Chains A and B, each alone.
Chain A
Amino acid sequence: MEAILRTENLNKHFGSLHVLRDINLTVNQGDVICIVGPSGAGKSTLLRALNQLEDIQSGKIFIDGQLFLHRARGKTLRSVKTKEHKKLLLEMGMVFQSFNLFPHKTALENVMLAPMKVKGFSTEQAKARAQALLEQVGLGDKGDSYPSKLSGGQQQRVAIARALAMDPRIMLFDEPTSALDPELVGDVLGVMKNLAESGMTMLVVTHEMGFAREAADRVLFMCDGVIAEDASPEQLFTNPQNPRTQQFLSSIL
């Protein structure tokens, strides 16, 4: 079976800083992959590069076997047509550490906006779907609330519903619980576990080792712009091979 997402030798520099070094990553349908590693390892940059929030200098990204982007020496060699490009981009949904909900829109409107404006859903269609998604994340009664009236955990769950509303096949999470008070983390992780169990393909940058152990099929350890170790959670947490993984784990556990 063709991988749902694959990268070939992704490289990203910020000035003289080489943040992603020849990243080769394969994500199969239904995989739940957690990415862990020290601060500055390039975890966020990797997700952002996949989602085109950062330009890579070189490398290839394939989505569903189709070449989505091919760059070399900072120039685009091949990219799909704009329309196809957007379609492939929307195969990925993204959830940010800082939620990034639209503050001038209610929870329901936040979830409805993109389906209406990008997919051409009617208001009724979008509303019904948004309501169902809010219920899925346990916020069926919060549709009319503005983000400022919601707790961080609730805002993040709305943000998950908003990303799901575009029917992505892969969900990217960049430290979705790092900005939350400890007592609110559980609700968000619960929603993510349900999502994982429902078969969603997920790429999760996280410091929640408990979640990685329980929900992940694979855990990647990133360090200095490379994927230093790629293993099952049991393997990585109980018997890490790379000394840097060992060092990282002993520093946080």
Chain B
Amino acid sequence: MDSSSTIEKIITWMPSLLEASKITLLLTLASVSAALVLSIFLALGKILRVHNRNVPRPLLLLKETGTSAVRWLCSAYIFVFRGTPLLIQLYFIYYTLPKINPAMNIKDRFTAAWIAFSLNIAAYLAEIIRAAIQSIHKGQLEASHALGLSYAQTMRLVVLPQAYRRMVPPVCNEFVMVLKDTSLVSIIALCDLSFQTQKIASARASAVVYIPALVIYLIMTAIFTVTFHLIEKKLAVRE
């Protein structure tokens, strides 16, 4: 293998690889962001219970039924999305949904991938967030109650801000995993870094292209890791 011509080849592939990396990066960021929002509701839903129990009996029963329905739905969601492979979920959303109902035909590949990834990641993040919420000392809830804060205010102002800090390392981990999982989108022919790499590999019959691909993945992983490390340090300074 002639090294100077190898380097030349890599340089000519670089623009298309970088272009494809943008898709990878964008899909990761957009999916995890959307999943974060969804997962907070899932986590809160999974631990929802009746807080003011000092109400008349019929109203209490109604509230209890309502909250257990919410808990059940959130648990079911998490069970389904964690209990099936992301690959099949992606197939399902892109290929099966339009067959069930033509109105659900998501033609844009990126959008389809984004939806599948967001829904899937949310199930994992929900468990991370639930664990973080439940790790907050009970005394914080009691102090909030004694000060007259409502349950929603307690969550928003007291519990979640503390839980966020504990979530930083596992969420960073999730970003890195998702970054690599996005290579699955090749199956719906979305041109991410893995898809583009394979395209070059088969068209040019050259396995060398895997080297720059690996390096780009590592660089993207490093960006996430460093960014989260900085966030973690910054949050640790306050408190």
Contact = CB atoms under 8 A, between A and B. Distances in A.
Given A79-B54, A163-B146, A104 B139 contact: no
Nearest to A53: B142
Contact of B140 (A90, A102, A117): A102
A82 B52 CA distance: 9
A90 B142 contact: no
Q: Which secondary structure dominates where chain B touches chain A?
A: helix
A147 B143 CA distance: 15
A111 to B, nearest CB: 10
Contacts, number: 77
Contacts of A18: none
A146 to B, nearest CB: 5
Contacts of B153: 117-118
Interface stretch (A6-14, A34-42, A92-100, A236-244): A92-100
Contacts of B57: 75-76
Interface in B4-58: 52-57
Contacts of A118: 147-149, 153
A56 to B, nearest CB: 10
B99 interface: no
B107 interface: no
A104 B239 contact: yes
Place the interface of chain B in its size category.
20 to 34
Interface residues of A, number: 36
Nearest to B142: A53
Interface string A63-80: 000000101000110010
B146 A85 contact: no
Interface string B68-110: 0000000000000000000000000000000000000000000
Contact of A100 (B60, B139, B157): B139
A146 B142 contact: no
B55 A76 contact: yes
Given A82-B52, A117-B153, A146 B147 contact: no
Contacts of A51: 145-146
Interface string B130-143: 00000001011011
Nearest to A118: B148
A236 to B, nearest CB: 28
Interface of A: 51-53, 55, 69, 71, 75-76, 79, 82, 85-86, 89-90, 92-94, 96, 98-104, 113-114, 117-118, 146-148, 159, 162-163, 166
20 contacts: A53-B146, A79-B54, A85-B52, A94-B142, A96-B142, A96-B143, A98-B139, A100-B137, A102-B143, A102-B158, A103-B162, A103-B239, A113-B147, A114-B147, A114-B149, A146-B238, A148-B239, A162-B143, A163-B146, A166-B148
Interface of B: 52-57, 60, 137, 139-140, 142-143, 145-149, 153, 157-158, 161-162, 165, 238-239
Given A90-B148, A100-B140, A117-B149, 5 more contacts: A96-B142, A102-B162, A113-B157, A114-B149, A162-B147
